[in-house]
Amino acid sequence: MSAVEIKKIVAHSSISPMAKIRKNMMFELIAILVVLVGFFVFVLLKEQPTNVLYLGLGVLTAISLFILLFVFPKFYRHTKKVDVVHSVSTNLYQNITKLQSDLELYEKTMLFLYVPACFAGFALSNYFNKYIVLFFVVFFPVYYFLVKKWTKFFYGQYVEELEELVQELQQVEEE
């Protein structure tokens, strides 16, 4: 088997995990939009929306737009097909490195946005007391764990598949 044939096989194998990442990103984007539209409908159906309610909705919209316009486009660019002309292992390794940094950015963004999301929750519930604040403070470790698991399940496992693919390719290239 020639080097060009090996590169084509590996390039084709790498498309599947990247396609799965893009598919999960689309699912998450649709979920964000559905939740955002749901909150808009909730506010519009409320009998007497208050300024605080509109402010909470504005914060949720800003959070959603931040994710949609800043995090996902950067993440999506790094899930493109591998270029077969150059060294496939080098291209895959560069993509993996970029994807890992994007995943870290995604996790940090989701954790950072917890506070504005809590504020939006206070505003949308129109109910603010020490028990609600205590709930959000106690819930943060659970949220942290969920973000880590969500990222691993939706994206991290496919990055690991790509890492295994690079290791296999490097073994083949060494032989």
> What's the pLDDT tens digit per position in 40-78?
777 777 666 666 666 666 777 777 777 777 777 777 777
pLDDT, tens only, 151-165 = 899 888 988 888 888
Average pLDDT on 114-124 reads 70
2: pLDDT strictly greater than 60: no
Burial of 127 (0-12, 13-18, 19+ CB in 10 A): exposed
**Per-residue pLDDT for 100 more than 60?**
yes
- What is the predicted pLDDT for the residue at 114? 77
Name the average pLDDT for the chain. 75
For the chain, give every domain's residue range. Answer: 3-174
The alpha carbon torsion through 83, 86, 89, 91 (nearest 10 deg) reads -50
pTM: 0.68
- Averaged pLDDT, 26-41: 81
CA distances 8 to 24, 102, 150, Å, are 25, 26, 32
Read off the tokens for 28. Answer: 């998450």
At 145 the pLDDT is 92
pLDDT of residue 84: 54
What pLDDT is recorded for position 29? Answer: 82
* The pLDDT of residue 149: 92
pLDDT of residue 88: 67
171 burial (CB, 10 Å; 0-12 / 13-18 / 19+) is exposed
